[in-house]
Amino acid sequence: MRVFLLISFLSLFSSCAKLGYVWDQGLGQLRLMNRARFNEKVLKDPKIAKEFKEKIKTIEKAKDYFFSYFKEKPRKIYRKTVILEGKAVSYLVISSPKDQIKAETVSFGPFGTYPYLGFFSVEKAKAFQKSQEQKGLATYLRPVLAYSTLGYLEDSILSSFFHMSEISMVEMIFHELFHTVFFIKDEVDLSESLAVLMSQKLMEQYLDSIQRDRYLEELREQKLISYNLVMMTQKLNESYAEKKQGPDDILHSFMSSVFYPHFKKVCQEEKIKESSCWPLQNEFNNARLAAYLTYEGNSDFLRTLYEKKSHGPFEFLALLKKLKADYDEKDLDISFKEFLKEQ
């Protein structure tokens, strides 16, 4: 997942209100960079747990596989490791109006527009969350295990990665590495959805047959839940548009009478274990639903395009690059996402 952590020179394009954020994020990034050690040294350090060292080796293997598969020049990303004090590297805050599921965006000039802000400090994340709530917005704050600077800086392996299962960690590494070879400025939701799709497709190539079968079954469940969650989000937005009640009442009524009963039925019918049917285990508001749409809102049409136009991740990346070049040359007035939908 990509959390936007800005470096200090970006302040040239920021308002005074954003300058403090930019400064804090720049300092946080510099602290991480100063704590990073080359993997070779970490692997030789007797104080580092053996299981952590094995995860570092797995990440290095996944990185080599990624760049070799796509025939891309290897980036310097993940040459170093940072051992964090806690489980999270940063904290993400998403805001949304209470009468519509739509992430509030923040513009950073030529560096793009983003539907969230990331903070290295949980206290500052909570302070920002509180300020957004005082504006009457719904908010969602969650810890972040990984992020990308998109090549502006050299990203390190973070010990927060090690809290994932090996397969989840490798999929996340592929996701972040994909951002280094393809990313659409100002279309974060599309870029994230593409990274989700491509990391999943690459996992199918990477895993052995036994691991692949288990992964594909879990992925089937994830896709089913994703499809239904996007559908439920659209239905809730329709209820907001009708304005038959206040937004808080609409949300409460929808969740209790539609959302949770729907997922209970779907998971029972599809024989998905209740522990794996994660929407039943969580509470939602507009901001949390908007956060989910950032990653999964485009999944259906992208999967259709993938199956229609390619025979694998390598071909699909080549297609995306060609289509992006065509899009830029034509200087169209539509988004790249809309351009892709026309293909």
Residues lower than pLDDT 70 in the chain: 1-20, 22-23, 109-112, 297
Q: Are residues 60 and 162 in the same domain?
A: yes
The residue out of 173, 207, 241 marking a domain boundary is: 207
Q: Are residues 114 and 233 in the same domain?
A: no
Residue 125, domain member (yes or no): yes
The residue out of 176, 207, 238 marking a domain boundary is: 207
**Residues 37-88 pLDDT 10s:** 999 999 999 999 999 999 999 999 999 999 999 999 998 899 999 999 888 8
Q: Are residues 119 and 33 in the same domain?
A: yes
* DSSP per residue, 148-186: --TTSS---EEGGGGGS-HHHHHHHHHHHHHHHH---TT
Q: Are residues 226 and 239 in the same domain?
A: yes
Q: Report helix, strand or coil for 92.
A: strand
Q: How confident is the model at residue 110, as a pLDDT?
A: 62
Q: Are 266 and 232 in contact (CB under 8 A)?
A: no
CB atoms within 10 A of CB 233: 20
The residue out of 174, 207, 240 marking a domain boundary is: 207
**Domain count of the chain?**
2
**Rounded distance between C-alpha atoms, residue 306 and residue 256, angstroms:** 36
Q: How confident is the model at residue 46, as a pLDDT?
A: 95
Q: Are residues 223 and 256 in the same domain?
A: yes
Q: Are residues 243 and 199 in the same domain?
A: no
Q: Are residues 82 and 145 in the same domain?
A: yes
Q: Are residues 37 and 138 in the same domain?
A: yes
Q: How confident is the model at residue 300, as a pLDDT?
A: 80
Residue 222, domain member (yes or no): yes
Residue 278, domain member (yes or no): yes
Q: Are residues 89 and 189 in the same domain?
A: yes
Burial classification of residue 26, based on how many CB atoms lie within 10 Å of its CB (0-12 exposed, 13-18 middle, 19 or more buried): middle
User: How far lies 33's CA from each of 37, 60, 190, in Å?
Assistant: 9, 19, 29
Residue 26, domain member (yes or no): yes
Residue 3, domain member (yes or no): no
User: How far lies 27's CA from each of 120, 122, 315, 323, 330, in Å?
Assistant: 9, 15, 40, 37, 40
Burial classification of residue 232, based on how many CB atoms lie within 10 Å of its CB (0-12 exposed, 13-18 middle, 19 or more buried): buried
Residue 305, domain member (yes or no): no
Burial classification of residue 12, based on how many CB atoms lie within 10 Å of its CB (0-12 exposed, 13-18 middle, 19 or more buried): exposed
Residue 194, domain member (yes or no): yes
Q: Are 286 and 100 in contact (CB under 8 A)?
A: yes
Q: Are residues 13 and 86 in the same domain?
A: yes
Domain encompassing residue 238: 210-299
